[in-house]
Structure 1
Amino acid sequence: MSLRDLPKLELHLHLEGAAPPSLIRGMAKEKSVDISRVFCEDGSYDFRDFVHFLSVYEAATSVLKSPEDYARLMTAVLEESASHGVIYTEFFVSPDFCGGSDVTAWREYLHAMEEAATRAEAQLGIASRGIVTCIRHFGPDKAKPTALCAAETAGGWITGFGMGGDESVGHQGDYAYSFDMAREAGLRLTTHAGEWGGPTSVREALDDLKVERLGHGVQVIQDLALVDRLIEEDIVLEVCPGSNIVLGVYPKWDRHPIQALRERGVKVTVSTDDPPFFHTTMTREYEQLARVFGWRASDFHEISQTALDAAFCDADTKARLADKLKDHPQ
């Protein structure tokens, strides 16, 4: 069994966070911008902890100045994902970084990204969708124009709304206005919770934002009654094990709760989050899950099916993806 060749679906991927370091360094050179401080000597991204990671992420993103830059980024990331067997991916995309959450500017960025995504699907066979994402540590007021951008461009490639950023800032419910706006526009909802904020952040996400998926969510394992609630309410977790290990949420792979959650009946999926930052790929995530937990082809097929069922895309796209999953032995 070639884990690299297995068809994969990824539901938790930050577009800027997936930028190859070489692409960002090249763009910085083109624009005469010095961001050398964000790189290690070997050319990889350099950060100390989660908060520093966020600042490095935003510094690297600062060289992405135009819709054309984002089209180049989209193409590079989809090429890399497709090389690891990914047949469908959902991107977190932030109007905050694409025209300052101005709807007119956002439309131009979105058009460039969507064109690149369409070309990649035609040439590489990888489908994708976008989840407009507000940035939690930018505050609730900044989230509102981001939600308006999402609502004004809902449908087609933009199918979801979510929130990323620093979970220590405020509460999930502080952003309820923005999530309500997105919901009314017909967008599907997810939010980062239970990566750093413990079970409390998961409970707030369910109670106050009424999301159907959770980004990470793994710290819910600390509250088994809440774990049972996830099962009862059919909440799907976008689990990013490699990210959790590198950032120190868990000390090593065999301490990660993905297997325990799955065994209890929680629906889990596997994603890379910000892969070049964490020196991972979807292939590497699969390899580690096979090595540490003994996952086999049937296990990977099951999580791919879970991801397909939870994907924020239309029925026709799901049917095409289901056919690709059927082509591989379990």
Structure 2
Amino acid sequence: METPTSARRLDRLPKAHLHLHFTGSMRHSTLVELAEEHGIHLPQALVEEWPPRLRATDERGWFRFQRLYDIARSVLRRPEDVYRLLREAAEDELAAGSGWLEIQVDPSGYAALFDGLTATLELVLDAARAAEEATGVPIGLMVAANRTRHPMDARALARLARQYAGRGVVSFGLNNDERRGRAREFEAAFRIARRAGLLSAPHGGELLGPRSVRECLDDLDADRVGHGVRAVEDPHLVERIATQGVTLEICPTSNVGLGVFQKLEHLPLRRLFDSGVQIALGTDDPLLFGPRLVEQYRIAREVFGFSDAELAELARMSVRGSGAPDAVRKELLSGIDAWLAAPPERDGS
């Protein structure tokens, strides 16, 4: 039997990262440095108490989480800050063994600084290309609408995403507090995106239960669901997700950090996997939660007892659920097979 000291190294397991927010990908050291450069005061929770204690299952907790996120976003003032963020994110993915990064961004959050929605998206796309050239990690963008804003804003973003489909944008998402916007309100925006060939990847089933996930499937024709963990409360829904091949982007440390589950052991990762659900492990916002992608795979191994064969299957699921080009998928799947065929290493990191 494989043991943690003889198991294969998780940082050498090829994988795709499908759930990473733009601002939330920032390194903590970069946040502190940029805040000092721009004269921005950071609250204690983002300095001495990092990673901050978060619990967003009530309105007050979500407001605090969102406030910290908005403060972090405010340190990205110049184009060079955007280039730095994406280069460092790609470097972190390279260190984690990622061969595809799908990072989600809402251009609306930066449009006032960078001359509008189109200019902002083009800046991020150019920064992604530069990061890919520097690290070799292919990057695709998810343009993500905000549930707390008017559905017309989402339509504008969908039309923008459509213009760049095939030119770096691969998916369309919907994020923020799912208690403040029903999926059906954004159906028109997702219809625009899907007609452009973009994957549908809304958040759902994190702060709300199975109904939220079901609406993502029914109203937004979701290919993936961000989080989706509370689908486990409805066995029939879990069966539907497995049958339809919908990928759930599960972020263990985020789910615990936001109070969705009290302990990692409570996360239904094993139950969903054993039910045949496609799963892509993600980090959500490592700036606020700490651990990055390798640690999510380590949790699967050490907390839920995933064997290396099962970890390899998790990695395959992440690749299959991605918007990566066929050539990238083929290379990653081949690399996963090679990782599993190789003998375990003593390191096991």
Give the alignment's TM-score, normalised by structure 2. 0.88
CA distances 1:52-108 after superposition (whole Å, capped 9, x unpaired): 212211121022123332111101111112112222111011111231599x73343
Q: Is 1:4 the counterpart of 2:11 in the alignment? A: yes
Gaps of 5+ in 2: 1-7, 57-61, 342-349
Q: Decide which moves more: 178-187 or 107-116.
A: 107-116
75, 81, 84: which one pairs with 1:72? 84
CA distances 1:189-235 after superposition (whole Å, capped 9, x unpaired): 11100011100101111111111110110100100111111122211
Q: Show the counterpart of 1:26.
A: 33
Q: Distance in 1 between matches of 2:198 and 2:39?
A: 39
* Overall identity of the aligned pairs, in %: 31
How many residues were matched structurally?
328
Gaps of 5+ in 1: none
Q: Distance in 1 between matches of 2:337 and 2:127?
A: 27
Q: Is 1:274 the counterpart of 2:280 in the alignment? A: no
- SS where residue 293 of structure 1 aligns? coil
CA distances 1:212-268 after superposition (whole Å, capped 9, x unpaired): 110110100100111111122211111111111111111112111010011111111
107, 122, 133: which one pairs with 1:122? 133
Shift of 1:319: 2.2
Q: Show the counterpart of 1:180.
A: 191
Q: Decide which moves more: 114-123 or 313-322.
A: 114-123
Q: Distance in 1 between matches of 2:45 and 2:166?
A: 36
Sort the Cα spacing of 1:101 and 1:208 in 2 relative to 1 into closer, same or farther, 3 A.
farther
Q: Distance in 2 between matches of 1:134 and 1:228?
A: 28
48, 54, 75: which one pairs with 1:48? 54
- SS where residue 116 of structure 2 aligns? helix
CA contact (8 A) 1:235 1:267 kept: yes
Q: Is 1:106 the counterpart of 2:109 in the alignment? A: no
CA contact (8 A) 2:77 2:113 kept: no
CA distances 1:158-186 after superposition (whole Å, capped 9, x unpaired): 01101110011021111112111212222
92, 99, 104: which one pairs with 1:87? 99
CA contact (8 A) 2:15 2:315 kept: yes
302, 309, 316: which one pairs with 1:291? 302
CA distances 1:266-286 after superposition (whole Å, capped 9, x unpaired): 111211111131121112112
Shift of 1:324: 2.8
Q: Distance in 2 between matches of 1:164 and 1:266?
A: 22
Sort the Cα spacing of 1:312 and 1:295 in 2 relative to 1 into closer, same or farther, 3 A.
same
Shift of 1:310: 1.3
- SS where residue 327 of structure 1 aligns? helix
- SS where residue 176 of structure 1 aligns? helix
Q: Decide which moves more: 59-68 or 14-23.
A: 59-68
Sort the Cα spacing of 1:115 and 1:321 in 2 relative to 1 into closer, same or farther, 3 A.
farther
CA contact (8 A) 1:268 1:306 kept: yes
Q: Which structure ranks higher in relative contact order (CA pairs < 8 Å, sequence separation ≥ 6)?
A: 2
- SS where residue 109 of structure 1 aligns? helix
- 1:202-281 aligned at under 5 Å gives the runs 202-281=213-292
The residue type equivalent to 1:195 in the other structure is E
- 1:300-315 aligned at under 5 Å gives the runs 300-315=311-326
Sort the Cα spacing of 1:101 and 1:312 in 2 relative to 1 into closer, same or farther, 3 A.
farther
- SS where residue 298 of structure 2 aligns? helix
- SS where residue 46 of structure 1 aligns? coil
